[in-house]
């Protein structure tokens, strides 16, 4: 091997057989986390509030169904 040739990375056995897959999975996870951090706080709060309200409505509907029976 000469100095003009690139050095091939050593393939360490990882989660799926290569460390590249693990690195790309980690990179994609970090992208998702970064995107989540970019959402303004008031939007996240609104989403949580909406989800909580939807759960409350669903619980009331289930309670009505049990009252009928």
Joined together, the tokens standing for residue 4 give: 């003009």
Q: What is the per-residue pLDDT across 39-49, written as a single tens digit (0 to 9) for each?
A: 777 777 888 89
Query: Domain locations in the chain?
Result: 19-68
Residue 50 is predicted with a pLDDT of 93
Cα 17 to the center of its chain, rounded Å:
22
Nearest to 57 by CA among 68, 49, 47: 49
Secondary structure in 3-state letters for the chain: CCCCCCCCCCCCCCCCCCHHHHHHHHHHHHHHHHHHHHCCHHHHHHHHHHHHHHHHHHHHHHHHHHHHC
Residue 10 is predicted with a pLDDT of 59
Single pTM value for the model: 0.41
């Amino acid at each position: 091997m000469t100095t003009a040739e690139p050095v091939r990375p050593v393939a360490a056995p990882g989660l799926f057989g290569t460390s590249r897959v693990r690195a790309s999975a980690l990179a994609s996870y970090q992208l998702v986390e970064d995107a989540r951090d970019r959402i303004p706080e008031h939007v996240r709060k609104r989403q949580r509030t909406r989800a909580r309200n939807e759960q409350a409505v669903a619980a009331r509907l289930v309670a009505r169904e049990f009252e009928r029976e």
